[in-house]
């Protein structure tokens, strides 16, 4: 009887019952297969998107290893640049853990919180840390933007540089700092620990240095006796030199800072120097001896050959360091129009004082205990060599570190009486100074007229 029923014709195209049942079963199975394939493809696309989120680091160079020790850092191991974190990433990273997919979204947020080399901060996090960027948290301000002090929920203190978007300068400086020191860790360089990029906003997050900058301690109102002793000043000078030496000689490609000056040397409570502000830095590959660029920097610190030609290399930083070292020794600004005509330019005044054998008078009178003649002459020689008008004759930063730290007197010493040796040493310095003055005078005049 069942067989007769299955053999009966139906109203659907005159098909037998058993044929109609078979066709329906096949259709159901096909639909199930299509649903399964769709779900599998959706999962693959989701995993692919999550993989892109995980490995995308905005404008941060990708490297296979995190830089945890100085020797492992290599700025040359860049990957492809990816897009900056999008609003969708932000929405997903801040999704509520109570949603249906809370566990997977929390994992995605954790991955996005550590994009590439450092922490990715949302605007909301930085607003909370700075009290909505209140004026009371401003710790620095300049043409680049404003720096704020911030406190994170774990009570760690950070410094946040809010870059001004002046004709695309914020985006440019953002890229430069990330490329230059994004993965660099050195005790004499300010650590860049994260960033924020939402819409047009570009912010850089640094470790917070709690003792101001060198300019404030050299030129601020600090009383009749400077808190910076000679030994402290030399400690700052050596630390600064080590930081610059690492940029020049410890990285590939090397980094030319291009704006070495006292306000960019931050100090911690133990007077350890940390070089900061890499917004003007340039990368210089091993196959290049210089890079031609628009002249940038701070008047008084800029090397004469760079000011006149725009050809930049590490010698430009060395000249700037020489001026900085003179500033540390004397307590004078590189350019001070309040002083008499012959003393406005620190380099000219300094060379004149050494040339006339009045070396003791170049030392900041606010230092309680003056340095020994031996220590002073060693540092004066470093200054003279750093500002040599021939950039090729300037020492490398590694050599400068050795000269500042070395116990050996840098002049050739023979068996002479102390008085005779001192006179001969001063005469040698004077002769060298005369040659330097003749070579540099024309370049200095050209540089001064250029910057006016």
Cis, bond preceding 253 (omega within 30 deg of 0): yes
The helix (run of H) or strand (run of E) holding residue 169 is helix 169-181
Tokens linked to 318: 């060395």
Max Cα distance, the chain (Å): 134
Q: Of 213, 214, 210, 290, give the one whose Cα is nearest residue 258.
A: 290
State how far the Cα of 452 lies from the Cα of 447, in Å rounded to an integer: 9
* Contact assessment for residue 21 and residue 5, using Cβ atoms and an 8 Å cutoff: no
State how far the Cα of 100 lies from the Cα of 421, in Å rounded to an integer: 84
Whether 74 is a known active-site residue: answer no
Tokens linked to 314: 């590490």
Tokens 């850089």, residue?
A: 204
**Beta strands at 192-198 and 119-120: parallel, antiparallel or unpaired:** parallel
| CA angle in degrees (0–180, nearest 5) for 263-195-261 | 15
The SS3 assignment for 9 reads strand
* Contact assessment for residue 205 and residue 191, using Cβ atoms and an 8 Å cutoff: no
The SS3 assignment for 403 reads helix
Tokens linked to 59: 């404008």
Tokens linked to 132: 């909505």
Q: How many Cα atoms occupy the beta-carbon half-sphere of 199 within 13 Å?
A: 2
The SS3 assignment for 284 reads strand
Which residue among 259, 277, 388, 444 is the active-site one?
259
Q: What share of the chain is helix, strand, coil (3-state, %, to 5)?
A: 50, 15, 40
State how far the Cα of 334 lies from the Cα of 350, in Å rounded to an integer: 10
State how far the Cα of 296 lies from the Cα of 306, in Å rounded to an integer: 9
The CB density around residue 102, as the number of other CB atoms within 10 Å, is 12
Give backbone dihedrals phi and psi of 265, rounded to 5 degrees, phi first. Answer: -110, 105
Tokens linked to 28: 């159901």
Q: Of 75, 386, 390, give the one whose Cα is nearest residue 247.
A: 75
Active site residues: 259
């Amino acid at each position: 009887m069942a067989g007769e029923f299955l053999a009966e014709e139906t109203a659907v195209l005159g098909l037998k019952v058993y044929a109609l049942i078979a066709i329906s079963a096949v259709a159901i199975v096909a639909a199930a297969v299509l649903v399964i394939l769709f779900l599998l493809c959706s999962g693959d696309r989701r995993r692919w998107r999550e993989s892109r989120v995980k490995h995308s680091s905005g404008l941060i160079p990708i490297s296979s290893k995190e830089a945890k020790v100085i020797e492992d850092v290599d700025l040359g191991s860049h990957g492809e640049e990816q897009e900056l974190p999008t609003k969708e990433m932000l929405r997903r990273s801040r999704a509520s853990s109570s949603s249906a997919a809370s566990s997977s979204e929390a994992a995605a947020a954790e991955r996005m919180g550590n994009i590439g080399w450092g922490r990715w901060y949302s605007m909301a996090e930085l607003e909370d840390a700075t009290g909505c960027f209140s004026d009371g948290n401003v710790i620095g301000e300049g043409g680049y933007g404003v720096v704020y002090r911030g406190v994170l929920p774990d009570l760690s203190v950070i410094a946040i540089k809010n870059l001004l978007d002046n004709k695309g300068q914020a985006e440019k400086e953002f890229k430069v700092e990330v490329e230059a020191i994004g993965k660099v860790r050195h005790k004499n360089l300010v650590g860049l620990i994260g960033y924020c990029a939402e819409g047009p906003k570009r912010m850089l997050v640094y470790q917070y240095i709690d003792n101001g900058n060198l300019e404030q301690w050299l030129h601020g109102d600090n009383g009749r006796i400077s808190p910076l002793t000679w030994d402290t000043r030399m400690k700052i000078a050596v630390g600064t030199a080590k930081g610059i030496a690492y940029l020049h000689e410890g990285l590939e490609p090397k980094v030319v800072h291009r704006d070495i000056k006292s306000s960019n040397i931050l100090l911690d409570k133990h007077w350890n120097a940390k070089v900061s502000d890499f917004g003007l830095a340039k990368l210089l590959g091993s196959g290049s001896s210089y890079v031609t660029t628009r002249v940038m920097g701070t008047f008084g610190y800029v090397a004469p050959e760079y000011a006149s030609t725009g050809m930049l290399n590490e010698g430009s930083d060395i000249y700037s360091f020489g001026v900085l070292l003179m500033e540390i020794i004397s307590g004078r600004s590189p350019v001070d129009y309040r002083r008499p005509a012959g003393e406005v330019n620190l380099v000219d005044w300094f060379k004149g004082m050494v040339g006339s054998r009045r070396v003791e008078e170049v030392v900041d009178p606010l230092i309680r205990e003056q340095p020994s003649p031996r220590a002073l002459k060693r540092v004066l020689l470093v200054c003279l060599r750093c500002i040599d008008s021939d950039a090729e004759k300037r020492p490398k930063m590694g050599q400068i570190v050795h000269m500042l730290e070395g116990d050996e007197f840098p002049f050739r010493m023979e068996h002479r009486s102390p008085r005779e040796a001192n006179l001969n040493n001063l005469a040698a310095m004077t002769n060298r100074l005369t040659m330097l003055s003749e070579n540099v005078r024309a370049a200095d005049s050209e540089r001064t007229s250029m910057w006016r």
